[in-house]
Amino acid sequence: MKIHPPDLINSFSDDLSSHFSTTSEGETVFIRGIHRFYRALGRFVARNAWAVIVVCMAITIIGAIKTKHTPKKSDLSGYAPYGARSRYELAAYEQFFDYQGQGIKILVMLMATDNGTMIRNTHLNEAVNVIDFISKNFTIYNSREQRPEGFDEYCYGFCLYNEPIRQFYNGYQIQTLNPTSRINLSYPVTSMFGRTFSLQPNFFGIKTYSNEELTEFHAKNKTILTNMKEAKMILLQFRGEREESWTDEQIKAYEIAISEYFINEYKNPYLKVLVVSNSFAQKEIQRGGLKLQPFLAVGFVIMTIFTVITELISSAFAHQCSWYKVINAVTACIVPFCSVGAAFGMLFFAGFRFGPIILVTPFLILAIGVDDSFLMMHAWQRVVSKLRKHPRPDDSIEYRIAEVLAEAGPSITISALTNIMAFIVGGLTSPPEVELFCYANAFALFVDTVFSVTLYAAIMALCGKQEMKSENQTISIFIIILLIGYLALTTYGTLNIGIDLSTRKFFLKDSILLEADVYRSKYVIPNFTPAAIIVNNPGNLSDPHRIEQLNNFIQQFEKMNNSIGSDATKYFLRDYEEYKDPFGDLPAGIKPFDANDLEDFLSWPEYSFWKGFLKVKNGKNGEKVLDKFFVNVGFEGKELVNWEERGRLLKTWRDEVDKYRDIFNATIYSDDALFLDLIKVIPSVSWQSAAATKKREKDIKNVTLKGVRFFEDFENPKKPNVVALA
């Protein structure tokens, strides 16, 4: 069949022009204009049904192909509102590490397979083996150096984050074979040969011996190697600043490869290993979105069955049963999916990101699109019933579809505008990820409305034409009998169905993120929640007064509620003072600071881990200048498992930082800040969206009423015309 677009457009224009001369009594010009438009559209669609179907399906297929080949990209920071403080804090954090995008950050949770303590020689040995295995056996290609590099080669500032585990294991071995008083394997601070280090960032789920138990052990001359009765988890962290030659895909492949190895290949009788990274989390989010597809199919089947049954019942009461009602009912559920495919394709061609959150859109459009189809099917029945009572000589499929759209079209349009406006308002007041969801839904609703009055109307025209040829009372009775049998069968199945509901079925039960989140909430958050304080303007630290201000600033955090104290604080100046005065020869108090010493300070093995905490640059005269640094302060508390409590703690941190903003230009960074800021604004965004939607709904009604009144005044010259008077 040849399609001539200009002819189709001219045909539609002719219909529109010819119908403007037709009016109905009791209708205003405004209302008649809407009805005439939809009657003209109905005649156009009925006359060119196949052409309309081909065009709509072509758009759908192209859109579906584009959707299939568009990569999904999740943005965890997209849930924070625009202007949220956490966005600025994240930018400052990434700027500190000179991130040109995503760096490497991998968390590895180690637990005993028997759910016992990790403070056993076999388990500590395996923990060290895991550190070595990840460091040496997984590489990322450095195109600048033209070679693959493992963690030990590409890391710079955080190479020694896991070193306390190795040192604790070494001390455990020594104390087992030949105990010495120079080693004290205590928690939270361990000392070995004069050097101390904190175990709190690495050891979790700790139970320690009480003083009474320790006294009893001493009385019995029983040797214990550590004051830890048990440690349920050891946490490893592998962090690397981004190398310029790395690509996002390389980082993603590297992080996911480590996670998948420990999921699919790692077998060990002692350890259970859970690996978590941003890349793996995004992959699991996408996998969760793809898991919606079977539910979409189930939803389609359920909706189709419901639509077929209700349409057959309705048509039976109207004495209009035919096989074509089944086709109408089934396509009523197909058209919304076609509109989603077309809408997604157009959005992605326009440059919209394919976020996993919009995979929910088909469910929404299915429900709304089927509702539009119900309106059109019901309008068809009314038109046919009216024609049976009052036959018309000009009865045709064009006339019937025109009347169907004239009746159902305005309702569909008003409903669509209301829903679209609600999503647009939601998008204007929401974080980026939710904004994407709202705008995608609004556009998909628009496309669905267009498809309802074109594609679905064309299908109704083809089915209606066949119905007009084969209206037969015997067929109607036969279909009703089949319907009764079908209802009896489905009722029996419903009454005898087995019910097995479990909350686990709401999630992807094979995702390690569920288990990792449980352990994080149970062991990590209550025992060690870090606050990263980035000091962007250290200033002249050779001035003792400024160092005193800086020390007071950090001490204010250590005095806060839930603070663990100085033992859990990573603050380089305290080690620097030991470096400057290793034997205590200098007078007590603040030791003089010289940035030119930092290179030598960082070269010492026991201080080399501070490289990741400091940013040093060259001054105007070639001297070394401390540009910025960051401090980690640890917090604890069982109540921190609650998001609201973590939000309260974050506010306390920010309030303290603000007191020193003009002095040090300090910022706070927390992994949870983006989501805590979202939780904080949800109530206000909700009532603002509701209020704005209500106001716009009222504005639409006012504009519509003013339009109707204007046309009424224009139509009736006896009434004063407000516009003319003006």
| C-alpha to C-alpha distance for 206 and 527, rounded to whole angstroms | 9
Residue 452 within a domain: yes
- pLDDT of the residue at 129: 96
29-33, 201-205, 236-240, 692-696: which range is least confident on average? 692-696
Look at residue 9 in the predicted model and tell me its pLDDT: 42
Instruction: Determine the average pLDDT of the residues in 299-317.
Output: 75
Tokens 């930018």 identify what position? 91
- The pair of structure tokens assigned to 150 is 């493992």
User: Does the residue 678 lie in any domain?
Assistant: no
In a domain, 513, yes or no: no
Does residue 49 fall inside a structural domain? yes
| Rounded Cα gap, residues 566 and 560, in angstroms | 11
Q: Phi/psi at 57 (nearest 5 deg)? A: -70, -35
Beta pairing class for 147-149 and 140-142? antiparallel
574, 654: one domain? yes
Angle in degrees, 0-180, between the axes of helices 432-451 and 397-428, rounded to the nearest 10: 170
208 & 255 share domain:
yes
Least Cα distance to 533 among 628, 600, 612, 630 occurs for 630
Mean pLDDT, residues 547-574:
92
Domain shared by 278 and 318, yes or no:
no
- Asked if 208 and 321 sit in the same domain, the reply is no
Q: Are residues 248 and 296 in the same domain?
A: no
pTM of the model: 0.69
Looking at the domain assignment, is residue 594 inside a domain?
Answer: yes
Residue with token string 């989140």? 517
In angstroms, rounded to a whole number, what is the distance separating the alpha carbons of residues 374 and 618?
73
Same domain, 550 and 691: no
The answer to whether 118 and 127 are in contact (CB under 8 A) is yes
Number of neighbours of residue 514 by Cβ within 10 angstroms: 13
Question: Where does a domain end: 497, 519, 549?
Answer: 497
- Maximum average pLDDT range among 463-477, 478-492, 603-617: 603-617
Question: Same structural domain for residues 357 and 377?
Answer: yes
- DSSP class of residue 185? B
Question: Is there a contact between 140 and 254 (Cβ–Cβ < 8 Å)?
Answer: yes
pLDDT > 70: what percent of the chain? Answer: 79
How many other CB atoms sit within 10 Å of the CB of residue 605? 8
Evaluate if residue 717 carries a pLDDT over 50.
no
What are phi and psi for residue 321, nearest 5 degrees? -65, 140
CA–CA separation, 113 and 267 (whole Å): 11
| 561/565 Cα distance (integer angstroms) | 10
Residue 250 reports pLDDT greater than 60: yes
Instruction: Give me the pLDDT at residue 164, please.
Output: 92
How long, in residues, is the chain?
Answer: 726
What's the angle, vertex CA 97, arms to CA 94 and CA 102, rounded to 5?
55
pLDDT reported for residue 327:
80
**Residue 408, CB-side half-sphere exposure with 13 Å CA sphere:** 27
pLDDT tens digits, 164-192: 999 999 999 998 888 888 899 999 899 98
Same domain, 689 and 600: no
Q: What percent of the chain has pLDDT over 90?
A: 30
Number of domains into which the chain is organized: 4
Cβ–Cβ < 8 Å for 623, 596: yes
Buried b / exposed e over 72-108, threshold 16 CB at 10 Å, is bebbebbbbbeebbbbebbebbbebbeeeebbbbbbb
pLDDT score at 304: 78
Structure tokens at 270: 């002692």
The residue among 533 and 158 whose pLDDT is bigger is: 533
Q: What is the pLDDT of residue 467?
A: 66
The predicted pLDDT at position 383 comes to 83
- Angle (CA) 54 59 62, round 5°: 120
Rounded to an integer, what distance in angstroms lies between the CA atom of residue 192 and that of residue 397?
A: 92
Of 170, 167, 174, nearest in space to 189 by CA: 167
Instruction: Answer yes or no: is 508 within a domain.
Output: no
Identify the DSSP state of 32.
H
φ, ψ for residue 541, nearest 5 deg: -80, 0
Q: Which of 502, 438, 73 has its CA nearest to residue 289?
A: 73
Asked if the structure places residue 84 within a domain, the reply is: no
- Which domain does 613 fall in, by range? 529-635+637-670
Task: Clarify whether residues 372 and 433 are in a common domain.
Answer: yes
Instruction: Return the CATH number at 51.
Output: 1.20.1640.10
State CA 700 to chain mean position distance.
33
- Select from 287, 305, 329 the last residue of a domain: 287
Q: What angle do CA 465, 371, 323 make, to 5 degrees?
A: 35
Placement of tokens 């927390």 in the chain: 670
Question: 644 falls in which pLDDT band (50, 70, 90)?
Answer: confident
Identify whether residues 109 and 65 lie together within a single domain: no
CA dist., res. 513 & res. 285, Å (int): 10
Record the tokens describing residue 32, joined without a space. Answer: 């008649």
Do 270 and 207 fall within a single domain? Answer: yes
Sign of CA dihedral 504, 510, 515, 517: negative
Give yes or no: residues 40 and 142 share one domain: no
Indicate whether 536 pLDDT > 60: yes
Average pLDDT over residues 483-496: 60
Is residue 200 within 8 Å of 188, Cβ to Cβ?
Answer: yes
Upstream peptide bond of 188 is cis (omega within 30 degrees of 0): yes
At residue 443, what is the residue type? F
Distance CA 232, CA 568 (A): 19
Residue 240 included in any domain = yes
User: What is the average per-residue pLDDT within 669-677?
Assistant: 84
